[in-house]
Structure 1
Amino acid sequence: MSDTIRQLAESLQQAEHVTVLTGSGISADSGVPTFRDPQEGLWAKYQPQDLASPDAFLKDPDFVWQWYQWRRKKVLSVEPNPGHKALAELAHSHPSLTLVTQNVDGLHQRAGHEDVIEFHGNIHRNLCLDNGHMMRVEDYPDKPPRCRICDSLVRPGVVWFGESIPETALSRSLAATRKAELFIAIGTSATVYPAASLADLAREHGATTAEINPQTSDMNTVDIAIRARAAEALPALLVAYQGR
């Protein structure tokens, strides 16, 4: 067990309030393709940024819907990894741990985490384009269905490029970060705002900051840096935290 894992476990034991931010790195350990990974098959010649936007959906809703169908199937074909499971157990063990995720795949919930602040929505939910009515979609047709309330097109319930973070998710994340004594960023490149600013906010309010990421990210200086995959580091952190 590394010294940095022990150091983070001690900080976790001492902190009354902990806020954790996860990014695509933790889901990549399950095999979920990140937005930086090359697309596959039919989608290989497209950039995700060109498909994940309101303009793209308005231009060709059928095409964008089918791309999200492909991504949904990819997500459902994988399972939560040991990092997801260890983090869920840490949340059950710690009296006040708030999880904020940039991921839309629902793997934290499938791993047993009961309360997840979803910064960018959830790919398994749907809402209508015009009024935001939440819609349950059965059997996922090849074309976006119509809202049963207002008849507008139904779209994936995720935050697209150019859209704002849902107000409730943002306010809860900011509140949890301001009161945290320990802030841990896991598997995030810290390039997408406003999530990327949470570590700075935590530091401004006196928190110890930590990062678990195999590569150096764009985060400013952190107090504890663990250069390892989440699927490896989090189970070790759980063991150290529980004193086993």
Structure 2
Amino acid sequence: MKKKLVVLTGAGISAESGIKTFRDSDGLWEGHDVMEVATPEGWYKNQELVLDFYNKRRQQLKEVKPNLGHEILAELEQDFEVHIITQNVDDLHERAGSTKVLHLHGELLKVRSTQNKNLILDWTEDLYTGDFDENGHQLRPHIVWFGEEVPALEEAIDIVEKADYLVVIGTSLQVYPAAGLISYTYSTTPVFYIDPKPIAIPNISNKVETIAKIASEGMLILRERLNSI
């Protein structure tokens, strides 16, 4: 039976593909205050701005490709049962070939009803005011905004609890509840932490092996490390 390799990924792994993160330096996401485009309050205040913002992110996603970090994770499925839990809303893990991907914060290529959170549709083109669900309700980006619950959290906890190895890639470990997932591993579960600017991981007694590299370089090292275990 294959060992279960659970991977928590954040914006750092997609950054090498050209997708920016608002946490880089100035607190802005593609030039926008995140409170204006990634909160329910922002949606109610200026729906057109929010729709335009995600339309542009959706178009940008069509112009980028998975990078080596994504590709190595997909290749590891040959030797491990790989489960990816990502904070990213892009589909680069899937396009690289990973088959078990759980999106904590939603997906750019999906939309949902403003009245029924369980009515979710695939959506690859622009979304506008006047695009309705089957019951005549406005559709919105299928994104978990700040202040909203994370529907996939319980499933993510269940996956992390069963990990034989845990890998953390390209996440600042500052956004909760996602950052708290690490605490659900057994204290004997090895943790590998890949980030060019690693920080101390709070509230964890596991042995952590830090690889201070960007995602693609770190994944090359991790692949060799896993092969030697």
TM-score of the two chains, using structure 1 as the length reference: 0.82
The reply on whether 1:186 has 2:169 as its aligned counterpart is yes
Identity of aligned residues (%): 33
User: Residue 4 of structure 2 corresponds to which residue in structure 1?
Assistant: 17
Give the match's secondary structure for 1:69: helix
Q: 2:49 & 2:12 partners in 1: Cα distance? A: 27
Q: Would you say the 8 A contact 2:82–2:100 is kept in 1?
A: no
Q: 1:30 aligns with which of 10, 13, 17?
A: 17
Q: 2:79 & 2:17 partners in 1: Cα distance? A: 23
Q: Would you say the 8 A contact 1:135–1:147 is kept in 2?
A: no
Q: Would you say the 8 A contact 2:72–2:219 is kept in 1?
A: yes
The reply on whether 1:153 has 2:138 as its aligned counterpart is yes
Q: 2:201 aligns with which of 214, 219, 222?
A: 219
Give the number of equivalent residue pairs: 222
Q: 1:106 & 1:218 partners in 2: Cα distance? A: 29
Counterparts in 2 of 1:218 and 1:102: CA distance versus 1, 3 Å: farther
Q: 2:172 & 2:87 partners in 1: Cα distance? A: 11
Q: 1:163 & 1:90 partners in 2: Cα distance? A: 33
Give the match's secondary structure for 2:185: helix
Q: Deviations over 1:133-167 (max 9, x none)?
A: 223447425x234323221211111111111111x
Structure 1 unmatched runs, 5+: 1-14
Q: Would you say the 8 A contact 2:113–2:133 is kept in 1?
A: no
User: Residue 56 of structure 2 corresponds to which residue in structure 1?
Assistant: 70
Q: Deviations over 1:194-220 (max 9, x none)?
A: 11011122144x312220000023523
Q: Which amino acid aligns with 2:7?
A: V
User: Residue 197 of structure 1 corresponds to which residue in structure 2?
Assistant: 180
The reply on whether 1:100 has 2:60 as its aligned counterpart is no
Structure holding more strand per residue: 2
Q: Which has the higher contact order (CA 8 A, sep 6+)?
A: 1
Q: Would you say the 8 A contact 1:183–1:207 is kept in 2?
A: yes
Q: 1:85 aligns with which of 30, 48, 71?
A: 71
* Post-superposition offset of 1:236: 3.5
Q: Would you say the 8 A contact 1:121–1:159 is kept in 2?
A: yes
Q: 1:138 & 1:182 partners in 2: Cα distance? A: 34
The CA RMSD measured in Å over matched residues stands at 2.3
